[in-house]
Chain A
């Protein structure tokens, strides 16, 4: 890092806290999965916390987010309650989708979170459509679309990039390049590995960002958001990141070495990076950080308690929310 990005005690403590909440939440989710309380697919965000935290620090209230199935971190960052998310993971009535969506499918109109999409790449044109609505309604908002390096090879991504640039949609395409599309490394799946260049043939500008550094993410997103909001059209942000866990809970991640993972954890961990700066700048001492950790653990423990005690959906819920009634 050539120059240290500017920040403040207040801001960095906030970002540290946000990232730590995601980390502890995800660790607990992994544990509950092991205990059989969470079923099906569960994709953890551990290692990638800086990406969504930094993006959220750069966008405005009301801007939308949409992502794939690796979505817990996005919801927590946007201020959706940890209890509501965890209860959805356990399939309970107190979950954001009242137990009908699961880990991959949650939404919050209130917090501008548009899912939670299980089909790789599908959220990309949908997110561009949110941008189209923003432009149509002239509401000054931008949409942020998150997808992985795997999704970056989907055809519909390019259809969306073309239309987004053609119509100058206020949309940021944020590629969370964690190096692995499930078990296939980017070098085995991708002919041209600089994903930020993927919009060039449409005239969509792109930048590559250290996605393990929350402040670098924040700064790059601020610039891109200003570009999109000013009517200049979309941008691509390629966030270089890493997931410590497998693709989903059932993935033993044998496609990479233990050394590779520990090197990332030890030398590039986004939370450690923020922690070191907090200590170095004397913005917090170890006791203060321990206190934050304690707070976070309490929030997560409450979420777990709620997610265990919230009842399963009433059987009558089986048939609700299929169609909306037509208003007379």
Chain B
């Protein structure tokens, strides 16, 4: 009986990929270790190796096929002595895949950031009025579908073209093209002077970045993940954030620290930490956490131009999301302004980064149950746009603060406090929080899903503050 070779998962977050090239043809004999095909993931192009010996019986997915789901049978291998009659009917990905977790489901497409009247079929339910944009774009501006990854890349490339002092340094940012491909092709355009591969020494290169900023440059320091920035947190806080104050306003430190933050997928406790509230605690920093591609671009451009140290928290699970970005020479989103992504009247839901998608998903579900939720994308954690939140709560009289990080001393705790302080008399229910369970993030798929907050958690919390079962 033939052996089915499936589209492999080549990274923790890969769900599909492009089969760029077959390195074997039907009838070829292969042995273990032979290269079968080249596959392009969202992060890299990799070769697939044969594990079994045999003869290539049938190639089922043509060269150049895109979006081939992980688990799809791409090739059938005949064992020694078998003829083509031995080829079985390949299983579908659904049949071959391990049981899916509830959490996974279909990937969320963002309903946000579309201009009014575009009538995109991906939009959310018809009844949902959405404030589509505070995008300050001229009428008729074209919107280009862009991944969050490329939006970040474009922001850096544009700012590097605009200002010679801007450069990027970090692990694998140059020749490797970025551990998550966020710095793809920057080396080719700007050269090794401005796209600098560092050794794996976060503490040291964060300090060097701070010194370069004090010396008159505008560094972007990429951390492969914010988890690794724990090695460097002293320079972010003690050296970058406090210097302006300690110098009586003399010594500037214009620097952007950026990279993916929070839980990716099944990477365990040490690679899944959400640092939003850690950095939000520090005066002297601005902390930005975009959700969609347009904000990723517009906020990163603003961050690079900002004269202050910026902590820019991205989300690995959002890198591959394709969303609209206005096609403009200079699309800037101001730091410090939240965005009402969906207008509602019964309950306010705040969220940032990937959690915004879950909040919007929850708002859809709630709409189906007759509850009108207003969703606020915080976009900037520090300075926090209290005005937008308080204004919304004065209208809805209820709030659910959702975040992916832990609850204690978290972003939700801060927002709830401000709401109690500033809009107590408007509240019809105590503020409620949705957050990650109070444990280090587990590896097991089921436990990880139980630990991370999802749309249903937001729905339950929203119904709770609306006193609806």
A residues lining the B interface (CB < 8 Å): 64, 66, 95-101, 105-109, 114-119, 122, 124-134, 136-137, 143, 155-156, 158-160, 162-163, 166-167, 320-327
Contact = CB atoms under 8 A, between A and B. Distances in A.
Interface string B191-218: 0010010110101111111111111110
Contact of A117 (B205, B239, B250, B252): B239
Contacts, number: 159
Nearest to A118: B238
Interface of B: 167, 193, 196, 198-199, 201, 203-217, 234-235, 238-239, 243-252, 283-284, 286, 302, 305-308, 335
Contacts of A98: 248-249
A125 B247 contact: no
A105 B242 CA distance: 10
A130 B212 contact: yes
A155 B200 CA distance: 13
Given A122-B238, A125-B211, A129-B215, A115 B247 contact: yes
Contacts of B243: 107, 115
B196 to A, nearest CB: 8
Given A122-B207, A159-B203, A321-B244, A132 B212 contact: yes
B214 A114 contact: yes
B247 A126 contact: no
Contacts of A128: 204, 207-208, 211
Shortest beta-carbon contacts, A-B, top 5: A129-B211, A159-B204, A125-B207, A133-B215, A98-B248
Nearest to A162: B199
A272 B212 CA distance: 39
Contacts of B211: 66, 114, 125-133, 143
Nearest to A133: B215
8 contacts: A97-B246, A109-B250, A115-B251, A124-B207, A128-B211, A155-B203, A162-B199, A321-B245
Nearest to B214: A114
Nearest to B238: A119
Nearest to A132: B212
A2 B156 CA distance: 57
A52 B308 CA distance: 31
A148 to B, nearest CB: 17
A132 B208 contact: yes
A162 B204 contact: yes
B217 A322 contact: no
Given A323-B308, A324-B307, A136 B212 contact: yes
Nearest to B211: A129
Contacts of B209: 129
